[in-house]
Amino acid sequence: MKDSVSTGAQKWLTDEFAKKFPGSTLTIEEQVWDGIVPKLQTALASAESTPDIIELGNTQAPTFCAVGALTDLTDMKDTLGGKDLTQSLVDLGTANGKMYAAPFYAGSRIFIYRKDLFEAAGVKVPTTIDELTKAAATLQTANASKPHFSALQLPGISNQSAFAWVFTNGGRLATQSGDKWAGGLSSPESQKALAQLQEVWKTGSTTGPVTDTTISSAPYTPFNAGECAMFFGFNFHVKKIDPALVSAGKVGYFAFPPATAGGVGKPFAGGSNVAISAKSKNQAMSKEALKLIFSKDFQEAFAKDGGWVPGNLSFAGALGTDDLSKLTVDAVRNSVGTPAAKNWALVESAKVVDDFFVAMGNLKDPVSLAKTADDKIASILNGK
């Protein structure tokens, strides 16, 4: 996909493939994300039109894994990385106990905060979700005189950020029993998380009602302007932070905190899986190309060139040894994905989860909202 793999890494892959298979050529065609699912559905259906190897968004992978469109890679799992593969992406690339799409790369959010604002408000780095809520409230009060200030930049439209509260409390967006799916937002665990989220939006964040994705995708803008004390973002957002703040030692990082002290926070990981088309006429060479993709040189390129965490976490050290890099790798390692359901892509396209968290950000009733969303999720996942 566009911007996924650096030019240098692409050249390395095509050169190494040519050495391995003299006379054969590995051709890379970049695609854009918009409209990729229907395009793949059409291309994968025919042996004449299918690409041999494809990149899939991790939340898109279950749809293709479940319909027989991809080659079973279970016998290659250990060769590609085994236990070092990012588990949340393994889960999304697995159907009926078999792995069809291997983890390609991922990114997961951490908190980026203003040390000077924390110090001025007497706030320490939180070690639990409850401490995070109190920290945001204290910071909001301490900066009440500043117009447009939001202690925590957390727009309701940024639902993938909000997933961390749900997952860390043990909640899930949907659960499966036998061959039936049920929405998971009404569970006690999810409801506890939703109550915590709304408490943040009531006392420590003014951004719950925000639906503008240009605002949610640029949390560093209010951060640089002194209009927020922390945001839940990606490591590459740091490049957009005012260098003067960084050089002055005013910028720090911490992981999403656990529900109880000593536990582990579980954010969502966004990223991609890579798979072989079941209709490919070049199965053997495709598997050899996949081995090259999971080799040290290519995997480390994700970290060195793009700032992503490679699918094989044994190569994640290439991202760096600083706190930001370590926290990012740990966030991906502890991450949880969206449900590995064939129709999850349809839930996303119907904006069920988007609409739910936007309403949550507007402080609507989480119980009734969850029931409505759960009913819609179950209906779509069960194909009704």
Tens digit of each residue's pLDDT (9 = 90 or more) over 10-57: 999 999 999 999 999 999 999 999 899 999 999 999 999 999 999 999
Tokens of 273: 């899986």
Q: What is the pLDDT of residue 233?
A: 96
* In the predicted structure, residue 349 carries a pLDDT above the cut 90: no
- Strand partners for 115: none
Structure confidence at residue 153 (pLDDT): 97
Q: What is the pLDDT of residue 345?
A: 86
Band of residue 384 on the pLDDT scale cut at 50, 70, 90: low
On whether the CB atoms of residues 227 and 152 are closer than 8 A, the answer is no
**Half-sphere CA count of 64, side-chain side, radius 13 A:** 34
* Mean pLDDT confidence for 181-185: 98
Return all residues near 126 (Cβ < 8 A) that are at least 6 apart. 132, 134, 135, 254, 257
Give the rounded percent of residues in the chain with a pLDDT score beyond 90. 98
Structure tokens at 123: 């706030």
| Three-class HEC string of the chain | CCCCCCHHHHHHHHHHHHHHCCCCCCCCCCCCCCCHHHHHHHHCCCCCCCCCEEEEECCCHHHHHCCCCECCCHHHHHHHCHHHECHHHHHHCEECCEECEEEEEEEECEEEEEHHHHHHCCCCCCCCHHHHHHHHHHHHHHCCCCCCCEEEECCCCCHHHHHHHHHHCCCCCEEEECCEEEECCCCHHHHHHHHHHHHHHHHCCCCCCCCCHHHHCCCHHHHHCCCEEEEEECHHHHHHCCHHHHHCCCEEEECCCCCCCCCCCCCEEEEEEEEEECCCCCHHHHHHHHHHHCCHHHHHHHHHHHCCEECEHHHHHHHCCCHHHHHHHHHHHCCECCCCCCCHHHHHHCCHHHHHHHHHHCCCCHHHHHHHHHHHHHHHHCCC
Per residue in 224-279, pLDDT tens?
999 999 999 999 999 999 999 999 999 999 999 999 999 999 999 999 999 999 99
What mean pLDDT value characterizes the chain?
96
Note the pTM of the prediction, 2 decimals.
0.94
What share of the chain has pLDDT > 70, as a percent? 100
Q: Which amino acid, 324? A: L
Please state, as a whole number, how many other Cβ atoms lie within 10 Å of the Cβ of residue 148. 11
- In this structure, the chain runs to a length of 384
In the chain, the N- to C-terminal Cα span, in Å, equals: 32
Q: What is the pLDDT of residue 291?
A: 98
> Domains of the chain (ranges plus CATH)?
7-108+269-333 (3.40.190.10), 110-266+350-381 (3.40.190.10)
Bridge partners, 173 (sequence order): none
pLDDT digits (tens, 9 = 90+) for 75-116: 999 999 999 999 999 999 999 999 999 999 999 999 999 999
Average pLDDT rounded to a whole number, residues 370-376: 98
Are residues 170 and 193 in contact, defined by beta-carbon separation less than 8 angstroms? no
**Kindly report the CA angle at 220 between 215 and 224, in degrees rounded to 5?**
120
